[in-house]
């Protein structure tokens, strides 16, 4: 657990430890933006699930208040989200919330496939990229996997492309700054 805690702190993701982010660090460097994702998202029409599926999802969101502070509540949420995904496999928000529930329970590797599917279904949602960045960064640093670290950097850049000048982008910039030294380490 100490290694995981150290990785979270090193990456500037202290918000996961219930500490505030130091946003001033993030303002120093803005990642290069690509117009292709931004242009694609200008015409993006989000998927609208069936009303009964959306109602179940909304009730679940309200019931758990988007947080899983107790592992038991998160497990219940995970089970309900899996049912929603079975009923509507095109509903990106359900995959996103399921991945986020795994992040909340610190099961970062389990979060990755659900967040990747959410990005596949809705490539214009900066929050999904943010959470995928967190999972890839933490797993990448703890496993010393440069490929995952590169993915986390790429996702952080996409966060800033989709949400420039926001707190999400500031957090992403901190992550980029803190991940780059890991790419230069020989033993990684």
How would CATH label the architecture of 50-122?
Answer: Alpha Horseshoe (1.25)
Determine the pLDDT at residue 20.
36
Residue 64 has pLDDT above 80, yes or no: no
Determine the pLDDT at residue 28.
37
Q: Token pair 């430890």 is at which residue?
A: 17
- Predicted TM-score of the model (pTM): 0.80
Residues 59-84 have a mean pLDDT of 78
Q: Which contacts qualify for 81-85: CB closer than 8 Å, 24 or more apart?
A: 84/53, 84/56, 84/57, 84/60
The residues spanned by each domain of the chain are: 50-122, 123-188
List Cα–Cα distances, 21 to 18, 58, 169, 188, in angstroms: 9, 29, 12, 26
Q: How many helices (H) and strands (E) does the chain have?
A: 10, 0
Residue 121 has pLDDT above 60, yes or no: yes
């Amino acid at each position: 657990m100490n290694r995981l805690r150290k990785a979270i702190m090193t990456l500037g993701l202290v918000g996961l430890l219930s500490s505030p982010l130091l946003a001033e660090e993030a303002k120093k460097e803005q990642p290069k933006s690509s117009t292709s994702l931004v242009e694609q998202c200008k015409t993006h029409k989000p998927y609208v699930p069936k009303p009964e599926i959306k109602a179940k999802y909304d009730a679940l969101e309200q019931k758990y208040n988007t947080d899983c502070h107790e592992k038991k509540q998160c497990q219940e949420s995970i089970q309900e989200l899996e049912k929603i995904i079975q009923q509507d496999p095109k509903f990106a928000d359900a995959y996103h919330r399921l991945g986020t529930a795994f992040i909340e329970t610190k099961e970062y590797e389990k979060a990755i496939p659900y967040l990747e599917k959410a990005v596949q279904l809705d490539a214009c949602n900066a929050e999904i990229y943010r959470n995928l960045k967190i999972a890839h960064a933490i797993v990448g640093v703890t496993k010393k996997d440069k490929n995952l670290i590169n993915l986390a950097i790429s996702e952080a850049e996409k966060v800033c492309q989709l949400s420039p000048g926001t707190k999400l982008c500031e957090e992403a910039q901190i992550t980029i700054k803190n991940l780059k030294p890991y790419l230069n380490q020989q033993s990684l």
